[in-house]
Each structure stands twice: as C-alpha cells, then as structure tokens.
Structure 1
Amino acid sequence: MIIINNFNEYKLLEGSMVGTSLWHTIDQDQINRFADATLDHQWIHTDEKRAAEESPYRSTIAHGYLTLSLIPYLWKQIAEVRNITMEINYGIENFRFGQPVKVNDQVCLQATIRSVNDLKGTVKVVVGARLLIKDQSKPAYTGDVLFLYHFA
C-alpha cells in the first residue's frame, strides 16, 4: 500500500501504476443484496436456475454497477491518503465493460494515477481503473475515476 500525505506526494505519482488491490470474491449473496438496494432484480443477476439454463454465461453475473461500486473499497487497499479533511467521489469517465463478472469470480482493482491537479486548494486526481478477473485475460472494465481531496 502506498501512503500519500499531501499534494506534492500525489503529484510525484502522476503517470505511475500505483498498485493492485487484494482479490475480492463476488458471491450470490452480494449480488442479491445489490439487487435489493438498487431494485434491479433482472433474472440474469438473481435467478441462478434460469441463468444456468438460459444465460450464455451459464451462471448469474454481477451487475455492472455493483462492480463499479467496489472502486472506493478496493482503492483503499491500494492507497491511504492522509491529512485530508474531505474526499469526494467526483465522477467516472470513459468506462467500458469488457466482460461480465460471473458469480464467485474473484476481482481486483489495478490503479494508475493519470493526473493530479491543484484547483485552488482542491486536489483533483484522475485514477485509471482496471477491474481484473482472476484467470481471465480481458478486464471486466477500464475507465477513469475522479476524486477530489481537501488536504489539511
């Protein structure tokens, strides 16, 4: 894990692949809880029997937005940003889903610092995110995540 204490330390990481999170298994319980939270109970996510019979993946798959929602959790396994009074998930850009995450797949986040800018005291960081699936050559998604930080 890297530790970032201020703008200057963040700026030094610009252009670098800074790390990879631990593997996280997405199980059916997590998929079902996400479906409940988002009111998205499409059968391809929640009906294990039907998915096994009718889905081209022969199993349920995680919601794309579930996999995106893991970014803050996985990012905190890669970097600890200290001395901040506030951190804001500011946005996502250029995201593309490369392949679905099947139930019980293990995923991890690989992060690259694309840019770091001081906007009059607010630090805007663009992190390139790739969600890797264990034993798969193609990532689940790629794109950029934007964070805003207010350092103390």
Structure 2
Amino acid sequence: MKTITIDQLLSGVGTEVGVSPWRTVTQTMIDQFADATDDHQFIHCDPARAARETPFGGTIAHGFLTLSLLSAMTYETIPRIEGGDMGINAGFENLKFVAPVKTGSRIRTRFFLADVKVRPSGWIQISHDVTIEIENSKKPALTARWLTLTFVAPQDDAAPAQG
C-alpha cells in the first residue's frame, strides 16, 4: 500500500485524491448484510417479490451496506499516512442516499480531500467529500462528507539519534 507524508496530505486539500476500482454488489453480499443487521426487508432479500412489487425490478442493497463499503474502497484507493497505523471513523456530514443500488450493479467511490486538521496530540482529522457512483447511472448512490481520524505519533525532536 502506498504511503504519503503529512505535508503531501496537506497539499492535496481541495483536490480529487482517488477513484476506487469498480465493485459488484451481489445478492450474497446483501443477504449477509441482512443477516448481520437483522434487516430482512423483502426489497433486499426476496428477488421474486421485489421484482413484482417494487419499481426497482428486483432487490436493492441496503443503504447502510453501500455506505459500509466505503471502508474497503478507501483501503483500495487512498494512500496511508506515514506513521499512521490506526484510523477511526469520526462520522458523516450531509449524508444523502440519492439512488438505490440494484443487485448486480457496480459501484465505485470518488474521494475529494476537503479538509485536514493536524493536531499537536498526533491526531489528524481528515474530511473527504465522497460520492459513490453507480455504473451507467446519472445519479450516485450516495454523497457525504466523511470525517476520519488517523493517529501519527508525534516525533520527539529532542530524542538522541540512533545509530
């Protein structure tokens, strides 16, 4: 996995910093998510009924499943900060589910680096504007500002050189 320095991170503010590879959302993924969350609504888990009774023509992914795939798409796309071995979700701002993700659709995420705040404690707050796109759709699955925290141990400039 590629790494970048804090200075390189800061220089990327205001730019698109990556686009993830396409990822297919399968019925198996949807069913497993339903099992994990106890959300077995027919629009997600019953292809025949969803085809008959919904405007989607079949099942759709849970919005929260689509959202949760951001973690994997980030790992595939965004360079890690040198010395940053731990990242934490800090929340979302302006999260909007725009269009449903039909089973079998391919999705990917565009990442725009909106803001970086480097704290003396070693915590770096990073804000990405994310758009999860659906292949061959004019509307995205979702848009949001995603806030994360990465810890980079502060360097002790007073420490004696090793060697």
TM-score (norm 2): 0.89
> Which residue of 1 is the match for residue 161 of structure 2?
none
Percent of aligned pairs sharing the same letter? 36
| 2:102 partner amino acid | K
CA distance in structure 1 between the aligned counterparts of 2:59 and 2:32, rounded to whole angstroms: 14
TM-score (norm 1): 0.95
Q: Which piece of structure 1 moves more, 125-134 or 83-92?
A: 83-92
> Which residue of 2 is the match for residue 45 of structure 1?
44
> Which residue of 2 is the match for residue 115 of structure 1?
115
CA distance in structure 2 between the aligned counterparts of 1:115 and 1:4, rounded to whole angstroms: 18
> Which residue of 2 is the match for residue 86 of structure 1?
86
CA distance in structure 2 between the aligned counterparts of 1:91 and 1:105, rounded to whole angstroms: 26
CA distance in structure 2 between the aligned counterparts of 1:129 and 1:63, rounded to whole angstroms: 18
TM-superposed CA distance for 1:90, in Å, is: 1.1
TM-superposed CA distance for 1:53, in Å, is: 0.4
Q: Any gaps of 5 or more consecutive residues in structure 1?
A: none
TM-superposed CA distance for 1:4, in Å, is: 4.0
CA distance in structure 2 between the aligned counterparts of 1:79 and 1:92, rounded to whole angstroms: 18
| 2:23 partner amino acid | H
Kept in 2: contact 1:5–1:83 (CA 8 A): no
Q: How many residues align?
A: 151
The 4+ residue runs of structure 1 with deviation greater than 3 A are none
> Which residue of 2 is the match for residue 103 of structure 1?
103
CA distance in structure 2 between the aligned counterparts of 1:72 and 1:47, rounded to whole angstroms: 27
Q: How does 1:1-150 map to 2 (within 5 A)?
A: 3-81=2-80, 82-120=82-120, 121-150=122-151
CA distance in structure 1 between the aligned counterparts of 2:86 and 2:111, rounded to whole angstroms: 21
CA distance in structure 1 between the aligned counterparts of 2:87 and 2:95, rounded to whole angstroms: 21
CA distance in structure 2 between the aligned counterparts of 1:86 and 1:62, rounded to whole angstroms: 29
Q: Any gaps of 5 or more consecutive residues in structure 2?
A: 154-163
Report which of the two has the higher share of strand.
1
Kept in 2: contact 1:4–1:10 (CA 8 A): no
| 1:118 partner amino acid | V
Kept in 2: contact 1:115–1:127 (CA 8 A): yes
CA distance in structure 2 between the aligned counterparts of 1:98 and 1:4, rounded to whole angstroms: 32
